[in-house]
Amino acid sequence: MSELILAIDQGTTSSRAILFDRQGGIRGMAQQEFPQIFPADGWVEHNPEDLIQSTRAVCHGALDAAGVDAARIAAVGITNQRETTLVWDRLTGKPIYNAIVWQDRRTAEYCRRLKQQGHEAMVRRKTGLLLDPYFSATKLRWILRNQPDASQAAAAGGLCFGTVDTWLLWHLSKGRRHATDATNASRTLLYDIHQGAWDDELLSLFEIPRGILPEVCDSAADFGTCDFLGREIPIFAIAGDQQAATIGQACFKPGMVKSTYGTGCFMVLNTGDKVVESQHRLLGTVAYQLDGRRTYALEGSIFVAGAAIQWLRDALKVIDTAAASEAPASALSDNHGVYFVPAFTGLGAPYWNPDARGAVLGLTRDAGADHLVRAALEAVCYQTRDLTDAMAGDGIHARELRVDGGMVANSWMCQFLADTLDMTVKRPHVRETTALGVAFLCGLKLGWYQSLDEIAALWGEERAFEAGMAGEQRQRNYAGWRKAVARVNQIMD
């Protein structure tokens, strides 16, 4: 009997595959890291082949881990790091350049020029996004302009563009399907989220020929079949990872909000059938599209969260493992006035400063590695507060936050987050909510679940963290952060 769903979660630093049962229980899992390529300051790339190879490997690995064969899989779903941009030859399937990763800042100058020329209002109105190198369009334009003959080949229909979902679908599906879903399309800067269509004015602004674009489908849809596991299995769902996590956290009602703490941190608030036009530089985006109907979200994107912990581990070597960050942070009675602004790749929401770079402030002679570790964890919480304050400025006051991602294993961080936000922070039983979300989408398409309410009933809380810090202390901590960020933004002016 085919009673499992295989969820592929292709992330920024690793690929994962997880087998879920109908109740959302994990039955097997495999993960593989792949190399990050940093060719120049602010540039981040992936080898496109690594994305495919690691994905194939973890799919086999998940089956092995569960001790089951492919006959048990009812459907495959794909969720992915978003915005990361690939271009390949339509005939051979060979990439013409590495994948340019969402964190890459190489198009910062071009974005600045477009802003100066007054294009941002139109871009924002149609896409819900901003003119920032984060999104796909300027990366795609860079590839077309910088690879020999690419612009001509694209104009002649010889090239395909895709985000990572589309790249994987092309290579994993029989018949090389060139498609994406509305959540991924909504991150490209080329897609009108109100109309649900690629937009000619945007295509002309970024000099992108329409023929290079994939077909845009619902998030739960028939994306064809794959047979690389030895049997033909339908691919029934695609969603960008943060949107998939929103589904995995069952944030289906307007006002419900989740934050995922992995490499970066992404807060997504369900806004129902309305696109909220933020006055505080948050993003309007598609949360999911089902049966042709779009549900929208307001998103705050923080570029560096767990990546700061990785940096302390790998570059400074002050901790052996990411998990080892919890003990020193909790052992200190306070932060000693030390603030770490981890702006390695600029600052995202609500600052949107691609030129900002990281800084540690407030060091005294008695500060040590432990203070740095604590400051890195605190920074993630303060950046989240920046987002909830921005949402409050837009008139949205969330009462509780559902959290997930690798970092939330750190209970000290979850408690400090609740204290900093003055909000209840809820950690679910299943922390692999990104993969779970795309498994839920597959389940909808399979008819396992008749409604989103049925899925919401499967969500369960493992632990709730209640705010306990005195208000004065909370304000003092956060005021220190605001000063530190202001200094980083100023230094770069």
Ligand X SMILES: Nc1ncnc2c1ncn2[C@@H]1O[C@H](COP(=O)(O)OP(=O)(O)O)[C@@H](O)[C@H]1O
DSSP reduced 3-state for 346: strand
Q: Is 82 annotated as a binding residue?
A: yes
Q: Is 147 annotated as a binding residue?
A: no
Q: Does 184 help bind ligand X (rule: CB under 6 A)?
A: no
Site string for ligand G3P, 99-118 (x = CB under 6 A): ---x----------------
| Spatial distance between the Cα atoms of 81 and 84, rounded to a whole number of angstroms | 7
Q: Does 13 help bind ligand X (rule: CB under 6 A)?
A: yes
Q: Does 437 help bind ligand X (rule: CB under 6 A)?
A: no
Range in contact with ligand X (rule: CB under 6 A) among 8-16, 119-127, 200-208, 265-273: 8-16
Site string for ligand X, 325-344 (x = CB under 6 A): xx------------------
| Spatial distance between the Cα atoms of 360 and 230, rounded to a whole number of angstroms | 52
The alpha carbons of the chain give a radius of gyration, in whole angstroms, of 21
Q: Is 166 annotated as a binding residue?
A: no
Whether a cis peptide bond, with omega within 30° of 0, leads into 350 is yes
Which CB sits closer to ligand G3P, 240 or 443?
Answer: 240
| Spatial distance between the Cα atoms of 261 and 436, rounded to a whole number of angstroms | 16
Burial level of 124, CB count in 10 A (0-12/13-18/19+)?
A: middle
Amino acid at 140: L
Range in contact with ligand X (rule: CB under 6 A) among 200-208, 317-325, 450-458, 461-469: 317-325
**Residues 22-61 close enough to bind ligand X by CB under 6 A:** none
Q: How far is the CB of 11 from ligand G3P (least distance, A)?
A: 4
Q: Which does 309 bind (CB under 5 to 8 A by kind): ligand G3P, ligand X, none?
A: ligand X
Amino acid at 329: A
The Cβ of residue 491 has, within 10 Å, a number of other Cβ atoms equal to: 12
Amino acid at 384: T
Which CB sits closer to ligand G3P, 264 or 437?
Answer: 264
| Spatial distance between the Cα atoms of 260 and 434, rounded to a whole number of angstroms | 9
Q: Does 263 help bind ligand X (rule: CB under 6 A)?
A: yes
For residue 37 the two structure tokens come to 């390529």
Q: Is 270 annotated as a binding residue?
A: no
Q: Is 306 annotated as a binding residue?
A: yes
Exactly one of 262, 350, 428, 437 binds ligand G3P (CB under 6 A); which one? 262
Exactly one of 242, 270, 295, 345 binds ligand G3P (CB under 6 A); which one? 242
Which CB sits closer to ligand G3P, 129 or 485?
Answer: 129
Exactly one of 68, 114, 409, 469 binds ligand X (CB under 6 A); which one? 409
The Cβ of residue 23 has, within 10 Å, a number of other Cβ atoms equal to: 7
Q: Decide: 180 and 163 in contact? Cβ < 8 Å.
A: yes
* Number of helical (H) and strand (E) elements in the chain, helices listed first: 16, 23
Q: How far is the CB of 422 from ligand G3P (least distance, A)?
A: 26
Range in contact with ligand X (rule: CB under 6 A) among 66-74, 96-104, 216-224, 322-330: 322-330
Exactly one of 83, 181, 386, 404 binds ligand G3P (CB under 6 A); which one? 83
Question: Can you list the pairs that 21-28 forms with residues at least 24 positions away whose Cβ atoms lie under 8 Å?
Answer: 22/443, 22/448, 23/458, 24/430, 24/436, 24/439, 24/440, 24/458, 24/459, 25/430, 26/430, 26/432, 27/66, 27/68, 28/62, 28/63, 28/64, 28/65, 28/66, 28/67, 28/68
Q: Does 342 help bind ligand G3P (rule: CB under 6 A)?
A: no
Q: How far is the CB of 326 from ligand X (least distance, A)?
A: 6
Which CB sits closer to ligand G3P, 70 or 349?
Answer: 349
415 phi-psi bin (left φ>0, alpha ψ -120 to 50, beta other):
alpha
233-240 and 73-80 strand pairing: parallel
Q: Is 85 annotated as a binding residue?
A: no
- Which distant-in-sequence residues (6+ apart) come within 8 Å of 79 by Cβ? 7, 8, 9, 10, 165, 238, 239, 240, 241, 244, 434, 435, 437, 438
| Spatial distance between the Cα atoms of 477 and 377, rounded to a whole number of angstroms | 13
Q: Is 25 annotated as a binding residue?
A: no
Q: Decide: 359 and 341 in contact? Cβ < 8 Å.
A: yes
**Residues 379-408 close enough to bind ligand X by CB under 6 A:** 405-407
Exactly one of 264, 300, 354, 428 binds ligand G3P (CB under 6 A); which one? 264
- Shortest-Cβ-distance residue relative to ligand X: 406
DSSP 353: B
Range in contact with ligand X (rule: CB under 6 A) among 47-55, 248-256, 323-331, 443-451: 323-331
Q: Is 277 annotated as a binding residue?
A: no
Q: Does 348 help bind ligand X (rule: CB under 6 A)?
A: no
Binding site residues, ligand X, CB under 6 A? 11-14, 262-263, 306-307, 309-310, 322-323, 325-326, 405-407, 409-410
Binding site residues, ligand G3P, CB under 6 A? 11-12, 81-83, 102, 240-242, 262-264
Q: Which residues are known binding-site members for glycerol?
A: 82-83, 134, 241-242
Q: Which residues are known binding-site members?
A: 12-14, 16, 82-83, 134, 241-242, 263, 306, 310, 406, 410
